[in-house]
Every structure is written in structure tokens, then in C-alpha cells.
Amino acid sequence: MKRILLVIILTQLAACMSFSDRPFRSSRNSIEEQVPNIRLEKEFALSIGNSMLNFLDVISLNEADISKLDHVQVAVYNVESSGQEIDFNEIDFSDTLRSRGKNLVWETIVKVREEGEQVWVLVGMDLERNSLDAVSVFVLENSELVMINVDGDFDRMIEFALQPASDSRRDRDAG
């Protein structure tokens, strides 16, 4: 009976994960269209759904409160450029991410350009609900592009993350 239960649980958890880059295909295609002299070849992809995140939250005894997330997706691509210098400065990542949700407005909050490395962090906001619903990260280093997408209720996660600081300030003020 224990083995059957273990097999059922492991099967259920495996169903909550995917190794496909399907969630990134529209972004990949948009990048290839905007920089026509490159080709992106998938090296690795992982997508974790809400059920797996809930399970991880239970295992961590709700320490991280990641159950508010809907998806965490990561893909790594080799960038083939025919020996040319790779520069993504002309890419409109906001336009690249529009396929992730018509109701989301994308803003670049971090842009880092160093020798051999470029990083962009964008947030997707639902202006009608006045909420932060998604974060996307693009990292180009040498000939490798890493894309990360995270969807979920970030408003609650931010409240959860700031709670310890708020509690310590109350304690300090009371003393």
C-alpha cells in the first residue's frame, strides 16, 4: 500500500513539471525576428507548476510561502551568431513578452550591461487590478541566453517578505 501511495504521489509531482520550452517559444521567436543574424537553440528548459510549488511550500513548512506562485519557468539557449558580436540592446523585451498576457503592461526595472554580460529584469503589471503578476529575467552571457518567467500573486509575496521587517520595527518602537 505504501509503495502504491508513493508511486501515485511521485507521478502526480512529475506531472507538475515539464522539460519543454513551449512557454518561451514566442519570446524566442520574437528575439530571433528582432536580431535576424542569430539563432537560439534550446539547451535546457524546466517548467514547474502550482501543484509542485504548493508541495515545496509544505515541505519547507511554509517558510518561503511560494504557494502564491502559479509558474516558474526557466530555459537556457545557446546563441549561434555566425561569429558576429551579439548585442541585444535593440531588442524590445516588452514587445517580446506581450504574448504572455494581453492585460499585462511590461516595464524594465533592471538593465545591466557589463563586459560579456547583459541582464534585463521586467515586471508585468495588471493596471486594472493594480497588481504585480509576473517577473521575467533575460541574461545574455557570452553565447548563452537564460530566460526566467515567474507568474503569481506577487503582492502577497511582497507582503510576506516584508513582514519580518515590519514586526521588528514594531518591537523596536514598543521598546
pLDDT in tens, 56-89: 555 555 565 666 777 889 999 999 987 777 778 8
Rounded mean pLDDT, 116-121? 90
**Which residue bears the cell 518561451?**
24
As a whole number, mean pLDDT of residues 120-143 equals 91
Q: Is 56 exposed, middle or buried (0-12, 13-18, 19+ CB in 10 A)?
A: middle
pLDDT value for 165: 61
Residue 123's pLDDT is 92
Overall average pLDDT of the 7-17 stretch: 55
* Distance from chain centroid for Cα 106: 14
Partners of residue 146 on adjacent β-strands: 76, 139
> Mean of the per-residue pLDDT values for the chain?
79
Q: Which three cell numbers stand for residue 160?
A: 510576506
CA dihedral 73, 85, 93, 27 (to 10 degrees): -50
Which pLDDT score, from 0 to 100, does residue 70 have? 77
Position 168 scores a pLDDT of 58
Instruction: Tell me the pairing of strands 117-126 and 17-18.
Output: unpaired
Average pLDDT value for residue range 18-40: 88
Q: 122, 109 in Cβ contact below 8 A? A: yes
- Interatomic CA distance for residues 16 and 70, integer angstroms: 11
